[in-house]
Amino acid sequence: MTRPSDATPGDRIAVLEAELAQLRAEKARLRESERMYRFSAALAARLVWVADADGNMLFLDNPFFVLTGMSAEQGLGAGWFGALHPEDRAPTMERWARSIETGETYSAEFRVLRVDGEYRRTRSRAVADRDEKGAIRRWYGTTEDVEEQARREEARRAAEEALRESERMYRNTLEMSQQIAWTAEADGSGVVLSDRFRELTGLVGGPGEASESIHPEDRPEVLAHWAESVATGKRLDVRFRMRLKDGSYRYAHVRAAPQLDESGAVSRWYGVTEDVHEQEQARLAFREAEERYRLAAQATNDAIWDCDLIEDVIDWGDNAGLVLGVGDGPLGRTAGSWWIERLHPEERVAAVQSFDETIEAGANRWSRTYRFRRDDGSYADILDRGFIIRDGQGRAVRAVGAMQDLTERHRAEAEIRRMQAELIHVSRLSAMGTMASTLAHELNQPLTALGNFLSGTKRIAERPDVKREILVEALNGAEAAAQRASEILRRLRDLVSRGKVTVQVENLPQLIDEACVLAFVDEAALGIRHRLVLDPKAAWVKVDRIQIQQVLINLVRNAVEAMAGAARREVVISTRVRGKVVEVEVADTGPGIAPEHMDSLFSEFMTTKSEGMGLGLPISRTIVEAHGGEIRAENRAGIGAAFTFTLPRARAARKRV
């Protein structure tokens, strides 16, 4: 303010008072401005500081102590660098020195050790205060805690990177999975397809082309599902055949989900279409296999079962109830105890034990025959077969199998065995009928001799002078004749009797001897001789004695008839051991077997004799095979034919004490 030279002292005083008042007001404004700045810095959580032109700290606000635990005096000069993280100290000092040297605005971020021992990130900024000549007088700066801000920034960057990575993964997944990605408006229009659609179908993806790629037979169903999803907002999930650019079709699976806005309304649709041709082919093949399996189960009349060994429950096939005679419809699922309770009491423990032992032994297959109770109280003969399924540790977790009702088969087999036995018996009777005249002649001889011996003995006994020795000799002759007739009759009675089939251990040489009594009953009259060549090791067999004797008699009588008119008539019966079986051979010296008859020799009703029925050899084969053996015929080298059959070898029978 300019003072006029002619101003009076009073005026000058007034002017000075006015200036003083103005200075006071300016000072008050400065103090208020300072308070406002301090409050602003405090509210912004900033530390205010002042440094000289050389960068030495002159003033640090009170928050410095609160932040670092250092006093303001300790932070003056270069002392504030001691609060910085060791890794940040040198870069911060270098940047501060560069700003002091160039006068450019100072800006740095560094970590500061807090009073609680934690490092927190801070940001420090400062500007230079210059005089009229531009020289730096002071540096005024602020430092603020930006830890939370930095963390939020890092989180934001991490989220952005995760989003970018997710997008990259999604794109790569689409490329690797060969999927077609697509999107559509809320009303289903404006379908936009990825490039994969064009690569597969050859279509550019224009309006309506998406539906054109669908097989004509599948198109109505797919479009109906899509229309329903658009109308209801439900997810789309449907399979169809998609036409490729080469004209072929492959199964595809399309899925879509809606994007909803804040109000829950559909704002857009996003979907993928992927190739599932191999999976669909496998599914169809599996369904076809299931159907074939179901039909096969019905055709074989088996009761299919699937047992969960962990839960101890059984799922039964649809026809199991019908096969087993249980219930009026499908059995569905039952407890494992239900099956056990229906086993015959005499076989229950053994059947369950065999199943458990199969599992414990680590085996995969189990089979058992047992009787199973029907609803009407009767028992069915069951053949049960199962396959054990194990997990990676070898623990049995599941078993599947089939139960076959053998009741009718067993009845039929029993009837067949009865009829075979009857036929065999008739065959024996027929053979004896054929030999009737021979047997009558052979019986007549000992009976005539018996009568003669008895008559002679009577006459001798009437003479008083006959010696006792002569009388005894005559009686011995009568006894021998009676025994001869009795032996023939006993053998004949055993052979023609209708007894039960009894398979037991028999002495083979004794069995052959007994058969020879009848087989060679007319040996002398026919001029035939026979020899036995028996292996001592082939002494015991497990057979039905009467049936095997019938086989021997059939073969011997055929040999005898074949040698009619031959110069040399000899039958040789021999035995030998062949592993677990014994071979019995009946050989003759006849003309042999004609080649044209060899293949049909054991056929029913095949005979070369005018009076024969052709049943002897077929019945012999039936008997031998029923014993687990086989029979064959061959021409011997030189002369004659040989019939050989095998029988199961056995250990010597124990003698009863």
Q: How large a percentage of the chain has pLDDT more than 90?
A: 32
Q: Which of the four pLDDT bands, split at 50, 70 and 90, describes residue 175?
A: low
Name residue 249's beta-bridge partners. Answer: 243
Residue 504 to residue 269: CA distance in whole angstroms: 85
What SS3 class is residue 594? coil
For 324-405, CATH gives 3.30.450.20
Q: Which two tokens mark 5?
A: 């030279």
Cβ–Cβ < 8 Å for 591, 562: yes
Report whether pLDDT(169) > 80. no
Percent pLDDT > 70 in the chain is: 75
Residue type, 597: H
Fold that domain 414-499 belongs to in CATH: Helix Hairpins (1.10.287)
Q: Please check the confidence at residue 217 and state whether its pLDDT lies above 90.
A: yes
pLDDT at residue 43 in the model: 43
At 135, give phi and psi (nearest 5°).
-80, 145
Question: Has residue 453 got a pLDDT over 60?
Answer: no
**99: amino acid identity, one letter:** S
Scan for tokens 């009388």, then name that residue.
Answer: 471
Which pLDDT belongs to residue 355?
Answer: 94
Helices marked H in 202-310: 209-212, 219-232, 277-300
Residue 653 tokens read as 């029978």
Cα–Cα distance, 400 to 385 (Å, whole number): 8
Give the per-residue pLDDT at 656.
46
- The pLDDT score that the predictor gives to residue 200 is 84
Distance in angstroms (rounded) separating the CA atoms of residues 15 and 120: 56
Q: How far apart are CA 555 and CA 620, in angstroms?
A: 8
In this predicted structure, what is the pLDDT of residue 58? 87
Residue carrying the six token digits 């595809």: 252
The region, left, alpha or beta by phi > 0 then psi within -120 to 50, assigned to residue 377 is: left
Please report which confidence band the pLDDT of residue 488 belongs to, taking 50, 70 and 90 as the band edges: low
Contacts of 336 (CB under 8 A, 6+ apart): 307, 312, 313, 314
Task: Specify which residues 226 forms β-bridges with.
Answer: none
Q: Report, as an integer, the average pLDDT of 246-260.
A: 92
SS3 612: coil
| pLDDT > 80? residue 454 | no
Contact predicate 141/49, CB 8 Å = yes
pLDDT at 284 over 90: no
Q: How confident is the model at residue 350 (pLDDT cuts 50, 70, 90)?
A: very high
**β-strands 570-578, 529-533 pairing:** parallel
Tokens 């396959």 correspond to 387
pLDDT (tens digit per residue) in 38-92? 554 444 457 788 999 998 988 887 667 767 777 777 888 888 888 889 999 999 9
- Half-sphere exposure of 515 toward its Cβ, with a 13 Å CA cutoff? 24
Average pLDDT over residues 466-474: 58
Instruction: Compute the distance between CA of residue 316 and CA of residue 303 in angstroms, rounded to an integer.
Output: 7
Question: How is domain 501-657 classified at the architecture level of CATH?
Answer: 2-Layer Sandwich (3.30)
CB 380 within 8 A of CB 325: yes
Mean pLDDT on 512-534: 82
- Contact between residue 145 and residue 45 where contact means Cβ atoms under 8 Å apart: yes
Number of H helices, E strands in the chain: 20, 23
Domain definitions of the chain by residue range: 44-145, 178-282, 324-405, 414-499, 501-657
Among residues 83, 54, 78, 52, the alpha carbon closest in space to that of 66 is found at 83
Residues 333-346: what's their mean pLDDT?
93
pLDDT at 322: 83
Higher pLDDT, 431 or 191: 191
Concatenate the DSSP letters of all residues of 76-105 into one string.
TBTGGGGGB-HHHHHHHHHHHHHHHHH-PP
Measured distance CA(80)–CA(590) in Å, rounded: 135
Instruction: Give residue 224's pLDDT band: very low, low, confident or very high (50, 70, 90).
Output: very high
Which token pair is 170?
């999604």
Q: Are 240 and 221 in contact (CB under 8 A)?
A: yes
Mean pLDDT for 308-321 is 89
Instruction: Summarize pLDDT for 547-601 with one digit per residue, the tens.
Output: 888 888 889 888 888 888 888 889 999 999 999 999 999 999 998 888 887 877 7
Please give the Cα distance from 233 to 266 (Å, whole number).
7
- Express each pLDDT in 196-209 by its tens digit: 888 888 887 777 77
d(CA 481, CA 485): 6
Q: Regarding the domain with residue range 44-145, which homologous superfamily does it belong to in the CATH classification? A: PAS domain (3.30.450.20)
Question: How sure is the predictor about 237, in pLDDT bands with cuts at 50, 70 and 90?
Answer: very high
Residue 498 has pLDDT above 60, yes or no: no
Q: How confident is the prediction for the chain on average, in pLDDT? A: 80
Q: Which two tokens stand for residue 558?
A: 């055929």
**pLDDT reading at 492 higher than 70:** no
For residue 647, the surrounding DSSP H or E stretch is strand 641-648
Q: How much is the pLDDT for 476?
A: 62
Lowest mean pLDDT among 20-24, 173-177, 236-240, 539-543: 173-177
Is there a contact between 271 and 285 (Cβ–Cβ < 8 Å)? Answer: no
Check if the beta carbon of residue 573 is closer than 8 Å to that of residue 586: yes
pLDDT value of position 604 = 53
pLDDT value at 293 more than 80: no
Alpha-carbon gap, residue 284 to 288, rounded angstroms: 6
Cα–Cα dist 601/615, whole Å: 10
Q: In this structure, which topology does domain 178-282 adopt according to CATH?
A: Beta-Lactamase (3.30.450)
In tens, the pLDDT along 402-423 reads 888 888 888 877 765 665 555 5
pLDDT, average across residues 604-615: 49
Q: Which residue has the higher pLDDT, 161 or 9?
A: 161
Reduced to 3 states, what is the DSSP secondary structure of residue 116? Answer: coil
- On the question of pLDDT at 494 being above 70, the answer is no
Check: CB of residue 53 under 8 Å from CB of residue 136. Answer: yes
Q: Tell me which DSSP letter residue 328 carries.
A: S
**In the predicted model, is pLDDT for residue 613 greater than 50?**
no
Q: Please tell me the distance from the alpha carbon of residue 599 to that of residue 591, in angstroms, as a whole number.
A: 17
Let me know if the fold of 324-405 is the same as that of 501-657. no
pLDDT confidence of residue 584: 95
Rg (alpha carbons) of the chain, rounded to whole number: 59
Who has greater pLDDT, 324 or 440? Answer: 324
> In which band, very low, low, confident or very high, does the pLDDT at 539 lie, cut at 50, 70 and 90?
very high
439 or 565, which is more confident? Answer: 565
113 has a pLDDT exceeding 70: yes
Q: Is 426 exposed, middle or buried, given 0-12, 13-18 or 19+ CB atoms closer than 10 A?
A: middle
Q: Give the model's confidence band at 456: pLDDT under 50 very low, under 70 low, under 90 confident, else very high.
A: low
Give the helix/strand (H/E) hosting 552. helix 545-562
Range 183-194 average pLDDT: 88
Q: What is the pLDDT of residue 575?
A: 95
Per-residue confidence (pLDDT) for residue 44, from 0 to 100: 45
- Position 136 pLDDT exceeds 80: yes
Q: Evaluate if residue 495 carries a pLDDT over 50.
A: no
Concatenating the DSSP letter of every residue in 448-513 gives HHHHHHHHHHHHHHH-TT--HHHHHHHHHHHHHHHHHHHHHHHHHHHHH--PPP--EEEEHHHHHH
